[in-house]
Structure 1
Amino acid sequence: MGSTLTGKTALVTGGSRGIGRAIAKRLGREGARVGVHYGSNEAAAKETVAAIEAAGGSAFPVRAQLGVPDDAETLWAAFDTQADGLDILVNNAGVLGDQSTIEDVTKENFERVFAVNARAPFFITQLGLRRLRDNGRIINVSTMLTRGIAMPQAINYAMSKSPMDVVTRTLAKQLGPRGITVNTVAPGVVETDMHEGRLAGPARQYLESQVPLGRIGLPEDIADAVAFLASEDGRWVTGHWLDATGGTML
């Protein structure tokens, strides 16, 4: 286990599965005490906590459904019962929503995706600032679809991720005097439950052909980028949008 984050407390939203689980495990391996946020899958959260502890780290579950009224308040109330202050906030939780072009996007789906992907992390961050210590880190997990790559059937999802890109730049400027860095990590296609059933056969071959490094991303690829920004090594990088796509946008 590493020690670059020893003594730090982290919170990873959507930390029970996929990219979030990989981030939580990596931060735990570096010595941080990790709050593993989850919405409803308690078993997955417990598995993630157990995996961190089995590797010699420390973690605790934080339950709060996102996309509902007072979700940020619920999350921080749960967090506060188990931790005193915060050093690293990773806004990772997100939903893909229905895959459709603009003609078929329903108001219900639009509002659901924005509630989870934009409103929730905005207010989680707002309330988190009073807990975030000086020289802390905020890392927002976005998508390559907000820049460079246009995918008509994911317009709703891509739009919902754009607001936090703005938050990254704005808060990097506002919080700089406190030594707090704020950055975005933007994955391409990654092997997670979110893409289950979409990464097989010809579709997979096509997607792999679009990546100069020749494969679909893994959750650990994204977690390692987040770990760099969370560490002291990332102290001079702020307001940055990090392309973590294996070169897909080249």
Structure 2
Amino acid sequence: MADRKVLLVTGGGRGIGAAVVRLAAARGWDVVLTYAGNAARAAETAAAAEAAGARALAIQADVGDPQAVAATFAQVRDRFGRLDALVNNAGITGPTSTLRESTDAMWETVFRTNVFGLAACCRAALAVLPPGGAIVNVSSRAAAIGGAGEWVHYAASKGAVDTLTIGLAKEAAAQGVRVNAVNPGLIETELHAAAGMPDRLSRLVGSIPMARGGQPEEAAEAVLWLLSDAASYVTGALLPVSGGR
């Protein structure tokens, strides 16, 4: 087990993050996952990773808190002594709102997690990732579609993630680290119900050319490919996982 690479997945307790943790464990990675508040789900995901043969560590951390980010990377160092890849999955939508009805507080909260927290994790990772390391940012198709009438603030934050991904990929190439993003569309996770719209996916399925929502595991497959040596010449890519939407 000592030769297994170590992957950190923020927001890895449930949804796409949990699917990434489980798939990574099955494919030979040791995994660290952070979670915001649902300790039971995080423990369940970590246990599934261990059942697949991985060493797993779940850490309660708000990625929007710089001290929590620093503490997380310190725990990774102390427990595993290495970090080979980072998946920035932690993110929030904020309340449903039009732009006109949105508030500064909503924008600040969403950007603190989705942009500032992600950037802080990237900075911390770049200090320790070896040549051959990789970062994958979980963005959203909302960055291109715009989130009108629902989440313009969220879509704007993911647009920032896409731009950061492209710029950081060019900077990190010099140290042999690849940086890419996946842009999931309508994925069957708890995100929709948590935002107060449990029918959102069924309501919008007609806008998906493939006429169905995606599964978290389908997004996770894209993430694991971007982390793998099979994507060794891919950096700065924004990969839609959206059924054509």
Tell whether the structures are fold-level matches, with TM greater than 0.5: yes
Separation in 1 of the partners of 2:34 and 2:112? 17
Give 1:129's aligned residue: 126
User: What's 1:73 paired with?
Assistant: 70
- Matching residue within 10, 13, 18 for 1:21: 18
Residue 121 of structure 2 aligns to a residue in which SS? helix
The alignment status of 1:46 with 2:17, answered yes or no, reads no
Matches of 2:190 and 2:178, distance apart in 1: 30
> Which of 94, 115, 118 is 1:118 aligned to?
115
- Measured in 1, the distance between the counterparts of 2:93 and 2:213 equals 18
Alpha carbons 1:18, 1:193 under 8 Å: kept: yes
List gaps (5 residues or longer) in structure 1.
Answer: 1-5
Paired with 1:149 and 1:105, the residues of 2 have a C-alpha distance of 15
Aligned residue number for residue 198 of structure 1 = 197
Per-residue CA distance 1:222-248 (angstroms, 9 max, x = gap): 000001101110111110000110101
Q: Which moved more, 1:106-115 or 1:53-62?
A: 53-62
Report the equivalent of 2:216: 219
- The residue aligned with 1:55 is 52
- Cα distance between partner residues in 2 of 1:187 and 1:204: 13
Equivalent in the alignment of 2:228: 231
Distance verdict in 2 for CA 1:133–1:210, change over 3 Å: same
Matched positions, count: 242
> What letter is aligned with 2:10?
T
For 1:219 and 1:167, locate their aligned partners in 2 and report how far apart those are by CA, in whole Å.
24
| Other structure's SS at 2:100 match | helix
Shift of 1:85: 1.9
Offset at 1:80?
A: 2.4
Q: Are 1:62 and 1:79, in contact at CA under 8 Å, matched by a contact in 2?
A: no
After TM superposition, what 4+ stretches of structure 1 lie above 3 angstroms from structure 2? Answer: 203-206
Task: After TM superposition, list the pairs within 5 Å mapping 1:179-194 onto structure 2.
Answer: 179-194=176-191
1:71–1:120: 8 Å Cα contact kept in structure 2? no
* 2:95 aligned residue (71, 95, 98): 98
- The answer to whether the 8 Å contact 1:145/1:151 transfers is no
Task: Give SS of 2:133's match.
Answer: strand
Q: 1:130 to 1:24 in 2, by over 3 A?
A: same
Q: Which amino acid aligns with 1:146?
A: A
Q: Secondary structure at the match of 2:71?
A: helix
Structure 1 contact 207–216 (Cα < 8 Å) conserved: no
Amino acid at match of 1:181: R
State whether residues 63 and 78 of structure 1, in contact with CA within 8 Å, keep that contact through their aligned partners in structure 2: no
CA distance in 1: counterparts of 2:161 and 2:92, whole angstroms: 14
CA distance in 2, matches of 1:7, 1:192: 29
Shift of 1:150: 4.7
| 2:110 maps to amino acid | V
Shift of 1:116: 0.6
3-state SS of the aligned residue for 1:50?
helix
> Which of 124, 136, 144 in structure 2 is aligned with 1:147?
144
- Paired AA for residue 89 in structure 1: L
TM-score (norm 2): 0.93
Unaligned runs of 5+ in 2: none
